[in-house]
Amino acid sequence: MNEHLLELKGVSYSYGQIQALHNVSLHVKKGEIVALLGANGAGKTTLLHAISGLIKPSTGEIFYKNDNITPMEPEGIVGKRLIHVPEHRQIFSTLTVYDNLNLGAYSHYKKSGKKVINEDIEKVFELFPVLKERKEQLGGTLSGGQQQMLAIARAMMAKPDLLLLDEPSLGLAPLLVKEVLNYVKSLRDLGVTVLLIEQNVMGSLKIADRAYVMTHGTIKKEGLANELLQDKEVKEAFLGSTVV
Distances (CA, A) of 115 to 109, 110, 120: 10, 11, 9
Q: For residue range 27-46, what is the model confidence (pLDDT) as tens digits?
A: 999 999 999 999 889 999 99
Q: How far is CA 80 from the centre of its chain?
A: 15
In the predicted model, what is the mean pLDDT of residues 145-167?
A: 94
Within 38-148, strands assigned E span: 59-64, 67-68, 82-85
Whether the predicted pLDDT of 240 surpasses 90: no
Separation of alpha carbons 152 and 148, rounded Å:
6
Q: Boundaries of CATH 3.40.50.300 in the chain?
A: 1-81+160-244
Q: 44-48: long-range contacts at Cβ-Cβ below 8 A with a sequence spacing of 24 or more?
A: 44/166, 44/197, 44/214, 45/87, 45/166, 45/197, 46/13, 46/20, 46/21, 46/217, 47/8, 47/11, 47/21, 47/214, 48/84, 48/86, 48/164, 48/166, 48/195, 48/197
From residue 174, give the alpha-carbon distance in Å to each of 141, 199, 214, 229. 21, 12, 25, 20
Rg (the chain; Cα; Å): 18
With pLDDT > 70 as the criterion, what percentage of the chain qualifies? 97
Alpha carbons 142 and 131: distance in angstroms, whole number = 9
- Given a contact cutoff of 8 angstroms between Cβ atoms, the answer to whether 168 and 180 are in contact is yes
Q: If you average pLDDT over each of 110-124, 151-165, 224-238, which comes out highest?
A: 151-165
Give CB contacts under 8 A, 24+ apart, made by 103-108. Answer: 103/154, 103/157, 104/153, 104/154, 104/155, 104/156, 104/157, 104/158, 105/157, 105/158, 105/159, 106/158, 107/75, 107/78, 107/79, 107/158, 108/79, 108/158, 108/159
CB within 8 Å of 200: residues ≥ 6 apart: 169, 177, 181, 242, 244
1-81+160-244: which CATH number, 3.40.50.720, 3.30.428.10, 3.40.50.300, 3.40.640.10?
3.40.50.300
- Calculate mean pLDDT across residues 219-228: 95
* Distant-in-sequence, close-in-space partners of 103: CB < 8 Å, separation ≥ 6: 92, 95, 154, 157
243 — pLDDT class (breaks 50, 70, 90): very low
With residue 145 as reference, give the H or E element that holds it. helix 144-156
Band (239; pLDDT cuts 50, 70, 90): low
